[in-house]
Amino acid sequence: MSEIKQDERPRPKNGEPSEDIYSEAGAIRPDFLAQVGAAIADRDTLFLQRHVARLHESELGDLLESILPEQRRAMVSLLGADFDLTALTEVDEAIRLEIVEQMPNAQIAAAIGHLDSDDAVYILEDLDQEDREAILAELPFNERVRLRRALDYPESSAGRRMQTEFVAVPPFWTVGQTIDHLREDEGLPESFTQIFVVDPTFKLRGVVDLDRILRTKRQVKIETIMRETNYPIPASMDQEEAAQLFEQYDLLSAAVIDDNDRLVGVLTIDDVVDVMQEEAEEDFMRIGGVGDEELSDSVIDTSKSRVPWLLVNLVTAFLSASVISLFEATIEQVVALAILMPIVAGMGGNAGSQTMTVTVRALATRDLDIHNAWRVARREVGVGLINGALIGCLVGTVAGLWFHDVHIGGLIATAMLINMCAAAVAGITIPVLLNRAGADPAVSSAVFVTAVTDTTGFFSFLGLATWWFAIG
């Protein structure tokens, strides 16, 4: 009564340590790259089988990203069936598609049959519909059904990340029957820590940890020792939300259920670690306005991903410039203002970025909500006041000594205090408002926070200067 995968083809790397291919700096050793390049040029398949095919998939992924595209294609072709397709889960999407597109569908189908279902889905989901269907058509019926079911779930959902290989038994089995099943069924997953308990319709009833099985007498029924499943995850749940459950409750694995509470898969900690890393990288990249850009992307694709937000930045830059133009006469009278303006705007922008980064991360981890938003906002404003006063006094002193004018020092110190407070307010309110509006604060916040700090910095500094010189 267990979901199984196809018999695995033994791979040279399994159970055997691979040679150390990394330098002290963490990159692949130049001499190893040279040896691989020479083997590819000489079509030395024996070297590739001995030294490349046996690498761990993460090591092979690093190697694929380190060699030239033409070497990459040649190496995959030379390795043939010895190429570990799991390595494609460790490389950028562009490289993955480049390699898959050169491989015959029959070869991909043969390799897919030996992968864990989550790895197979990860590779299949990026393919064209026509190629995907052609590959699935060559798989055994049960395997094809499981993969199609996973591919039907939304992208970035728990259903896409889950493994469909798991162990499930009925509640009326005894511990002895279960142990015999685990020993005799060769189609069980390679590794697992829990046994799920299901009814005849495959609805999840509970779970039993392996250590509990080993410590219980053979004649005891499973339903006696099973416990309720900790936090079953709906297959349609976003993968980031699922990862947060793992983090919050220290889970090693969790059952994945469909809309009818039927067990369809299991999510494990190794998959969740990948999700956390991906989401962290995605948030970091979006804060910089570069979206899902990868190092392997072409010049044109990289340019396309960056231009939209540069154009938005251009609009906000013109907004700041228009503020400066309002005080053109004042700037002409006191040249020092033009020299000091970038300091006010720059420090405000940095302060706003600090608050914005903390806020965006807190929103992503759900540490910031409506219940504590006002308290956090008060804290950030307090930080802005203190930092603004300290930095303002320092900059004011330097400016006063520089231009031998205490008034200039006082003006920039006051403007700095105002802008740092504005930066704190903008850094927390803009991400929160964008989040409430359904927009991604990681993508949109930086542009608007910068616009606020630039505009406020210029307006406060030049406005104060105009007022002071008018009354003086």
pLDDT by residue (tens digit) across 366-419? 778 777 888 888 898 999 999 999 999 999 999 999 999 999 999 999 999 999
Distance between CA atoms of 66 and 47, rounded to whole angstroms? 18
- pLDDT at res. 293: 61
Same domain for 131 and 178, yes or no, is no
pLDDT in the model for residue 198: 94
CB-based contacts of 448, cutoff 8 Å, min separation 6:
316, 426, 430, 434
Task: Assess if residue 13 is contained within a domain.
Answer: no
Backbone angles phi, psi at 259, to 5 degrees: -65, -20
Please give the residue that has the higher pLDDT: either 41 or 358. 41
Alpha helices in 288-440 (DSSP H): 299-325, 328-333, 335-364, 373-403, 406-436
Q: In what order do the strands lie in the sheet with 233-234?
A: 233-234, 253-257, 263-268
The mean predicted confidence, pLDDT, of the chain is 86
pLDDT for 12 beyond 60:
no
pLDDT exceeds cutoff 50 at 5: no
350 and 456 share a domain?
A: yes
Domain membership flag for residue 286 = no
Band (pLDDT 50/70/90 cuts) for residue 315 is confident
Question: Which residue has tokens 């005799």?
Answer: 184
- Tell me the HSE value of 113 on the side-chain side, using a 13 A CA sphere: 18
The encoded tokens of residue 384 equal 């802005």
Whether residues 220 and 341 share a domain: the answer is no
Kindly state whether residue 6 falls inside one of the protein's structural domains.
Answer: no
Q: What is the pLDDT of residue 288?
A: 62
Q: Clarify whether residues 401 and 328 are in a common domain.
A: yes
Give whole-number Cα distances, 189 to 135, 163, 266, 273, in Å. Answer: 23, 10, 11, 20
* Residue at token pair 């950028």: 92
Confidence (pLDDT) at 416: 93
**What is the C-alpha separation between 246 and 240, in angstroms, rounded?**
10
pLDDT in tens, 253-312: 899 999 999 999 999 998 898 888 877 777 666 666 665 666 656 677 767 767 776 787
Whether 185 is covered by a domain: the verdict is: yes
The number of distinct structural domains making up the chain is: 3
pLDDT at 82 exceeding the cut of 70: yes
pLDDT in tens, 212-222: 999 999 999 99
pLDDT digits (tens, 9 = 90+) for 83-120: 999 999 888 888 898 899 888 888 888 888 888 888 89
Question: Is the same domain home to 198 and 101?
Answer: no
**Average pLDDT estimate for 229-246:** 89
Whether 442 is covered by a domain: the verdict is: yes
Assess if residue 16 is contained within a domain: no
What CATH number should be reported for the domain holding residue 213? 3.10.580.10
Angle between helices 105-112 and 129-137 (to 10 degrees): 60
For 154-183, what is each residue's pLDDT tens digit?
988 999 999 988 999 999 999 999 999 999
- CB atoms under 10 Å from CB of 362, counted, come to 18
pLDDT above 50 for 4: no
Of 246, 267, 288, the domain-final residue: 267
Are 333 and 469 within 8 A, CB to CB?
yes
The reported pTM is: 0.65
Output the pLDDT for position 366. 74
CA distance 440 to 373: 18
Q: Are residues 418 and 367 both part of a single domain?
A: yes
C-beta of residue 251 within 8 angstroms of C-beta of residue 230: yes
pLDDT for 10:
37
- Structure token digits, residue 313: 């930045």
Q: Are residues 314 and 453 located together in one domain of the fold?
A: yes
Domain span including residue 319: 299-471
- Report which of residues 369 and 470 the model is more confident about: 470
Residues 65 and 139 in one domain: yes
Of 219, 164, 175, nearest to 197 (Cα)? 175
Boundary-marking domain end, from 152, 178, 193: 152
**Residue 85 and residue 22: Cα distance in Å, rounded?**
21
CATH number of the domain where residue 137 is located? 1.25.60.10
From 90, 122, 152, give the residue that closes a domain: 152
* 465: pLDDT strictly greater than 50: yes
Cα 437-438-442 angle, rounded to 5 deg: 105
Using only C-alpha atoms, the chain has a radius of gyration, in whole angstroms, of 30
Q: What is the pLDDT of residue 6?
A: 37
Is 417 contained in some domain? yes
With a CB cutoff of 8 Å and minimum separation 6, the contacts of 197 are 168, 169, 170, 171, 204, 205, 206, 207, 208, 222, 223, 226
Tell me how long the chain is.
472
pLDDT band at 17 (very low <50, low <70, confident <90, very high): very low
pLDDT tens digit sequence for 330-343: 888 788 888 899 99
Co-location of 90 and 133 in the same domain: yes
Distances (CA, A) of 246 to 106, 176, 229, 416: 37, 31, 13, 43
Together in a domain, 347 and 414: yes
Residue 406: CATH number of its domain: 1.10.357.20
In a domain, 158, yes or no: no
Least-confidence region, from 37-41, 141-145, 178-182, 408-412: 141-145
Strand partners, 328: none
Amino acid identity at 296: S
CA distance 389 to 413: 7
What integer pLDDT is reported at residue 15 of this predicted model? 42
Alpha-carbon dihedral of residues 108, 109, 114, 116, nearest 10 degrees? 90
Question: Which strand (E) or helix (H) includes residue 205?
Answer: strand 204-209
Query: Do residues 357 and 384 both lie within one domain?
Result: yes
Q: Are residues 129 and 196 in the same domain?
A: no
